[in-house]
Amino acid sequence: MDYLSEIIALTVDSVLLGACVIKYLRNKNAITKIQAAPYLEIDKNLDKLVSKEPDKILPYVIIRGTVQPIGNPITSNNNPKVAGVLQLLTIKEHIVQRGATGYWSEHEKVIQKVQNVMPFVLESSKYSVEVIDPLAADVLDLDVISNVFTPTVPKVIDHIWGFFTGFRQRGVQTTEEMLRKGSIITGVGELVANENGKSLRLQPPRDGSPFYLTNMGIVSLAKKLDDNQRSYRLFCIIFGTLGIVIGSLMIRKYLINKSRKSDIERKRKELEISRKERRQKARGDEMSDSQLCVVCKANPREVILLPCGHVCLCEDCSDEILELCPICREVIEKRTAAYLS
């Protein structure tokens, strides 16, 4: 295809542009939502405030409190003194792999990921709000309790095997992250009163708005989202400009090809007119059989076949006979115009 490379480049650019636009709009919507969301204190008046709302739901609110488990907390695997309500254990394998170009590059692959969650609340002034489905949060700030990299000591056979397979293991990284008991976090989401009206829960909004559990203040969170929005806006401008450039190159290439085809068609018509005039002139004179095409017996001989050198075809018949000379049956390698007097 004439435009295959341009189509591939434009498709990749369109996918990247679409992803950046989605991220940009999502961050912009999140900032708007956060700016419009009320900041509520976790106190004795909070349950009354929620109970007055339709269906006992506040669609989008901001609260801040201390993380406290409902029951026994989770104890860290690497530090018994650390306890929390959410634990994330990740094991990654670091490898060096040879690519198609022959160069070696580093990669990492998640071997195992374990998530442990204990029901917990955000507490303030002896009042609390239960947090539902914390793993669904768009931003979930966890503390790194342990991050250990264990390098692999390869043997000679491992080097030989890695050379032939194009794969060598560098080591294994084990990471433990936790949401600690006693951490102060900001929760942004949907606030709902339970059926008894005595307890509240913070959960992911049903309308798809972002859900946040972060140790940042609301001002810092809004600034972070604004920085992300500006970055994605810049990417949108870059990829959009690149798409316009690629599209312009495709249009330019199309116009050049169209002009070239028009020139070829014009020259073909001019050649056809010239051919007809030459034949009319030749027919005006008496032609012997030796001057007529051996195939159609109507037009003059106009083409010489090589390497045999026979002048036996008109241009019309030459377009149809491509392989063997009709006189000697030798393979036709080349043909050119012949001018007979």
**CA atoms within 13 Å, Cβ hemisphere of 243:** 15
Statement: residue 284 has pLDDT above 60: no
pLDDT in the model for residue 48:
85
Share of the chain above pLDDT 90, in %: 48
Helix H segments across the chain? Answer: 4-36, 46-51, 156-165, 218-284, 315-320
Mind listing the pLDDT tens digit for each residue in 209-229? 999 999 998 899 999 999 999
- Helix, strand, coil % (nearest 5) of the chain? 40, 35, 30
pLDDT in the model for residue 290:
78
Statement: residue 43 has pLDDT above 80: yes
Statement: residue 47 has pLDDT above 60: yes
Mind listing the pLDDT tens digit for each residue in 125-138? 888 999 999 999 99
What's the whole-number average pLDDT of the chain? 87
Provide mean pLDDT across the span 32-54: 89
205 to 58, 179, 232: CA distances (angstroms): 10, 21, 24
pLDDT in the model for residue 163:
75
At 314, the pLDDT band (50, 70, 90 cuts) reads confident
Q: Which two tokens stand for residue 296?
A: 């159609």
Is 255 in a helix, a strand, or coil? helix
Statement: residue 283 has pLDDT above 60: no
At 294, the pLDDT band (50, 70, 90 cuts) reads confident
Mind listing the pLDDT tens digit for each residue in 143-189? 999 999 998 887 878 777 777 777 788 889 999 999 999 999 999 99
Backbone Cα Rg of the chain: 39
pLDDT in the model for residue 268:
79
Return the number of other C-beta atoms located less than 10 Å from residue 133's C-beta: 13
pTM of the predicted structure, to 2 decimals: 0.69
Sign of torsion over alpha carbons 251, 254, 259, 260: positive
Strand partners, 121: 68, 130
**CA atoms within 13 Å, Cβ hemisphere of 108:** 11
pLDDT in the model for residue 281:
63
pLDDT in the model for residue 195:
73
pLDDT in the model for residue 1:
60
Q: Which two tokens stand for residue 222?
A: 């809004």
pLDDT in the model for residue 241:
94
pLDDT in the model for residue 51:
84
pLDDT in the model for residue 229:
93
At 3, the pLDDT band (50, 70, 90 cuts) reads confident
pLDDT in the model for residue 299:
79
